[in-house]
């Protein structure tokens, strides 16, 4: 309270554990303008929180405080929630991961975020992922790799390269990434490339799941690739909204060997008259399969979806309807 915490050199936490919050490092920053900074490399190896949050680390940010991380590596870390790192963001915080973040074989045994779990409890959260991020063999009940849950105005910028490999959600949505937005507007900008490989979930979005119950904007200008991903609604990616959402996909999005019950590659359901989905980049579905919509499943009620570039379906199949594409459009919806 009123101070800054700075790690200037490299720091290693190995075989550390606790029962409740943070097996390795627990740090709070609660005063306006204050700072937690990792200037070098901070590494957590085999750290655990038996019943609580943050197997490796727990960070709490409030009142316009800042957490800046240069490099972080979490290996073999476990917790009830946030197997690697758990972050709790309050009013107007700034979170910046600048260079590198690796989460390897991290596990959330009971709740969300196998690698990294972030909850935004209040207003004006600023989250920036600027460096390379790798989530390898991570698992959780929901969101096997990365989870961001927001209850306030939130801005997320992902300008880095992200790789999600063999991550899975064993009891919910988002094998690799889970984004949940509740009650307040949000903005997501993905300008870096993201690869999902061998990711799966028991729920929706084997690679990535995005849900919103209030207005928001999502801009995806980086390339996205989904390989061998499996989910129920959307083997690769699932997007759902019951309120106004503006989604723009302006770069290539590729799905290979993905499987789902509805939408082998992509599942999208929208139910608000003000929603506007613009896909100006190329979509490619290769050897994807499902019960309906082997490659792509679309359902719109009063919303607008537009495709202005190439959509390619190759060797896709469904057991029921729409080997490549299934589309349902009702209540003045437009495709």
Q: Examine the pLDDT at 334 and tell me if it is beyond 80.
A: no
Q: Examine the pLDDT at 274 and tell me if it is beyond 70.
A: no
Is there a contact between 180 and 148 (Cβ–Cβ < 8 Å)? yes
Q: What is the pLDDT of residues 8-42, one digit of tens each?
A: 999 999 999 998 899 999 998 877 668 888 999 99
Mean pLDDT, the chain, whole residue set = 90
Residue in 144, 240, 254, 247 with CA at minimum distance from that of residue 195: 254
DSSP notation for 316-334 = -EEEEE-SSEEEEEETT-B
Is there a contact between 182 and 154 (Cβ–Cβ < 8 Å)? no
Rounded to a whole number, what is the largest CA-CA distance in the chain?
62
Q: What is the pLDDT of residues 50-77, one digit of tens each?
A: 888 999 999 998 888 889 999 999 999 9
Domain positions in the chain: 28-330
pLDDT at 313: 95
For residue 18, CA distances in Å to 50, 56, 60, 151, 163 come to 6, 10, 17, 28, 29
CA 314 to the chain's CA centroid: 27
DSSP state of 239: E
Residue in 321, 259, 320 with CA at minimum distance from that of residue 288: 259
């Amino acid at each position: 309270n009123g101070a800054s915490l700075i790690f200037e050199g490299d720091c290693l936490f190995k075989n550390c554990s606790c029962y409740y919050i943070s097996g390795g490092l627990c740090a709070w920053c609660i005063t306006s303008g204050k700072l937690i900074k990792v200037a070098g490399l901070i590494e957590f190896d085999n750290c655990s929180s038996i019943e609580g949050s943050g197997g490796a680390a727990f960070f709490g940010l409030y009142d316009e405080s800042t957490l800046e991380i240069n490099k972080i590596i979490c290996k073999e870390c476990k917790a009830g929630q946030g197997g690697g790192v758990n972050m709790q963001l309050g009013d107007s915080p700034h979170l910046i991961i600048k260079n590198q973040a690796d989460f390897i074989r991290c596990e959330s045994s009971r709740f969300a975020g196998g690698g990294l779990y972030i909850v935004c409890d209040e207003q004006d959260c600023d989250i920036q992922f600027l460096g390379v991020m790798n989530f390898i063999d991570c698992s959780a009940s929901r969101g096997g790799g990365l989870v961001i849950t927001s209850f306030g105005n939130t801005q997320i910028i992902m300008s880095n390269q992200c790789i999600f490999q063999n991550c899975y959600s064993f009891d919910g949505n988002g094998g690799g990434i889970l984004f949940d937005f509740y009650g307040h507007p949000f903005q997501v900008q993905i300008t870096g490339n993201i690869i999902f490989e061998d990711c799966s979930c028991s729920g929706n979005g084997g690679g990535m799941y995005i849900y919103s119950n209030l207005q928001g904007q999502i801009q995806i200008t980086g390339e996205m690739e989904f390989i061998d991903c499996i989910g129920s609604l959307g083997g690769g990616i699932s997007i759902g909204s019951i309120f106004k959402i503006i989604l723009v996909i302006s770069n290539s999005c590729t799905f290979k060997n993905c499987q789902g019950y509805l939408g082998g590659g992509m599942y999208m359901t929208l139910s608000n008259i003000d929603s506007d989905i613009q896909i100006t980049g190329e979509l490619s579905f290769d050897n994807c399969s499902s019960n309906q919509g082997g490659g792509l499943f679309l359902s719109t009620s009063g919303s607008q979806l537009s495709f202005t570039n190439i959509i390619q379906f190759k060797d896709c199949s469904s057991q029921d309807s729409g080997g490549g594409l299934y589309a349902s459009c009702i209540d003045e919806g437009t495709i």
